[in-house]
Structure 1
Amino acid sequence: MTFIDILRDHLDEFNQVFDQQITTSIRQAIYAMLTCRTNTERASHWTCQGCAHHADFPLSCGHRSCPQCQHNTTTDWLAKQQAKLFPVEYYMVTFTLPFELRVIAKHQPELMYQAMFSVAASVLKEFAKNSKQLGGDIGFTGVLHTHNRRRDLHPHIHFIIPAGSFDKDKKQWHKSKGKYLFNAFNLAKVWRSRLLEQLTNKLDIKLPEGIPKKWVVDCQHIGKGLPALKYLSRYLYRGVLPDKNIISDINGQVCFEYQDSQTQTTEIRTLPAVKFLYLILQHVLPKGLRRVRDYGLLQGRCRKLRQQIQLMLAVAGAVFPLVHEVKRAVAMRACPCCHQPMRFMGIHKNNYGNGRTTSLITTT
């Protein structure tokens, strides 16, 4: 039982019930998932190394919401982030959108998520500048999550922050001591004030009533950074709900399991199939909206400066965290005739109108 199976079985009813709430991005995601590894217009061509057998296999859709795709994208991201690690303690700061504002995220996701990123990043940069231990330029990576473990809409951004800063004027690296970075309560106050100002004054969005005065920002010490990167990498480019967590689809009722964040026990949630589909598909992000963003010293344009800092710290005797090589999964296919490995020859497009095959990509 997979999410795509449920989507295919209940698509007509889903379209009828949620027609007014299905965005263009959701429709594009649905089309991509339903045609994933089934569209024969573009296929990979394989030839057996032991006999003359050859075969074509449909390509994956590559959509970031598809539960079947993006494994290598996740691996590539983790490898790039590991190369940016500093030999310092790391913290994870999480900015959560309060319940009362989630209706805006539901109907205007692009505006809300862009505002969340820009405001949260500005807050972190200002706190770092004013910090007695840091007092310089920092780097951090932000990852947007839109759901909780029950898969309800629960937008929040995790920021992974190395506890160190660089003074460009003095060419000095400042390392934060102890296991304290920023005061979470102060972060929450500034986060609330600036985000509300951004929404009302700059984006001209009418706010709902009953917005709480106390917001939630969490600041946790996480060690050397690599564990947090691995944790986040599991959720970046895969579907909202892994297929292995789907238990059944019986009589129009879908059951799936999740781990309760408070008790750490496995719970089961049951929903009508169409509501289950919307529960998952509401988390499809607008096209072009980046879920992962690097700031400050971790930006791509700061690569040379980052390498200089890493070299400077290595010369000073700093011990860098042990990083294991991240290997990309290599596609392997066995010949159905002789069971010998097949060789990938390229990707081609079938032109059914004239009966010819056009090669798009070939390998040597």
Structure 2
Amino acid sequence: MRFIDILRDHLDEFNERYQGRITTTMRQAIHAMLSCRSNSQSTSHWACQGCTHSADFPLSCGHRSCPQCQHHTTQDWLAKQQAKLLPVDYFMVTFTLPFEVRVVAKYQPERLYQAMFTVTASVLKDFAKNSKKLAGDIGFTGVLHTHSRRRDLHPHIHFILPAGSFNKHKKHWQKNKGKYLFNAFNLAKVWRARLLENLAQHPAIILPASLPKKWVVDCRHVGKGLPALQYLSRYLYRGVLPDENIVSDIDGQVCFEYEDSQTQSTEVRTLPTVQFLWLVLQHVLPKGLRRVRDYGLLRGNAKKLRLQIQLMLAVAGAQFQVTESPIIAEVKRRLATRRCPCCQQPMRFMGVVKRTTNFMPLT
């Protein structure tokens, strides 16, 4: 059972029910998913390296909300993040938007999510500068998630950060000792005050009259960084709900599986089909919004500094985890992934074929 099949079969009913709430970005995502691997106007052309057999295959849409695409993107992102790992302990800090403010995500998602990134990054940087253990520049990676495991609207940002800082004046790496980094309650207070101040500056955003005084921030030690990165990568580029989690689509009801965060057991949720479609499609992100962002020592243009820190730690006797180079991962990704049905030899991607034009060779 595929999400795209359910969407295609019930698209008219979905459009009628949610006509006034479907955004332009959602419609673009729907169009991309319905044409994924089914558009006969453009196909990828493959030729066998062992015989004369050749074949054409429909192109993937490549949309980040499509459950059929982005598998290689996940692998590439994880490989690049692995190359940035430092041989130190890591922490995961999670900033969760309270229920009362989530209504803003329905009508002003771009402004809200941008504000969440801006505010949370500033909070972490300021806490690091004011910390006696750190008192320097830190690096961290933020990943925006908009849903809970039940796929309800539940915006929150996970930050993965190495437990240490770099003093650019002393050229010194300051290691954070122990399994404590920041006070979560203090983080929550500052996060609440700064986000509300930020949102109040946007006249199009109307906040509820009653807001909770206590917000939730979780700051926990996660050991080495690789397991945390692997956890985040599972939810990055595979769509909101993988097809293998959909159990059935019978009599206007869709059942799907999810893992309960409290009991760690597999649960099944059942919804009317059209409501199920909205549950998934409401998480389509605004066009151009980056849901993964690197800051400080982990940003792209800090590679030279990051290599210096890795060298300093290596000289000090730190043990690095063996990870695959992103370059090697990219080469592997580009290798032929199809086998010839005639001789079982690898087939090579030759280019893209369009009906209205001649063959476009790969350059």
With structure 1 as the length reference, what TM-score do the two structures score?
A: 0.95
Q: 2:358 maps to what in 1? A: 357
Distance 1:130 1:59 in 2: 51
Q: Deviations over 1:213-249 (max 9, x none)?
A: 0000000100010000011011111110111110000
**Residues 106-185 of structure 1: matches in 2 within 5 Å?**
106-185=106-185
SS of equivalent to 1:133: coil
Q: Deviations over 1:88-138 (max 9, x none)?
A: 110000000000000101110000000000000000000000000100000
| Kept in 1: contact 2:336–2:346 (CA 8 A) | no
Distance 1:28 1:213 in 2: 38
Could you tell me how far 1:334 is from its partner in structure 2?
2.8
Could you tell me how far 1:338 is from its partner in structure 2?
4.0
| Kept in 2: contact 1:224–1:321 (CA 8 A) | no
Q: 1:348 maps to what in 2? A: 353
Could you tell me how far 1:350 is from its partner in structure 2?
2.4
**Match of 2:272, as an amino acid?**
P
CA distance 1:209–1:331, shift in 2 (3 Å): farther
Tell whether 2:65 aligns with 1:54: no
Structure 1, unmatched stretches of 5+, are none
**How well do the aligned residues superpose, as a CA RMSD in angstroms?**
1.5
SS of equivalent to 1:187: helix
SS of equivalent to 1:119: helix
Q: Deviations over 1:167-208 (max 9, x none)?
A: 111111100001100000000000000000001135663211
Could you tell me how far 1:333 is from its partner in structure 2?
2.2
SS of equivalent to 2:264: coil
CA distance 1:338–1:269, shift in 2 (3 Å): same
Tell whether 2:362 aligns with 1:333: no
Distance 1:269 1:223 in 2: 33
**Match of 1:228, as an amino acid?**
A
Structure 2, unmatched stretches of 5+, are none
Could you tell me how far 1:324 is from its partner in structure 2?
4.8
Distance 1:11 1:274 in 2: 8
Could you tell me how far 1:340 is from its partner in structure 2?
3.6
Distance 1:48 1:205 in 2: 57
**Match of 1:140, as an amino acid?**
F
Distance 2:343 2:317 in 1: 56
| Kept in 1: contact 2:93–2:217 (CA 8 A) | yes
**Match of 1:18, as an amino acid?**
Y
SS of equivalent to 1:357: coil
Q: 1:30 maps to what in 2? A: 30
The alignment covers a number of residue pairs equal to 358
**Greater mean deviation of Cα atoms: 306-315 or 189-198:** 306-315
CA distance 1:202–1:130, shift in 2 (3 Å): farther
| Kept in 1: contact 2:336–2:348 (CA 8 A) | no
SS of equivalent to 1:235: coil
**Match of 1:357, as an amino acid?**
N
Q: 1:276 maps to what in 2? A: 276
Could you tell me how far 1:265 is from its partner in structure 2?
1.3
SS of equivalent to 1:249: strand
Distance 1:305 1:341 in 2: 41
CA distance 1:230–1:203, shift in 2 (3 Å): farther
Distance 2:142 2:344 in 1: 45
Q: 2:266 maps to what in 1? A: 266
Distance 1:291 1:219 in 2: 20
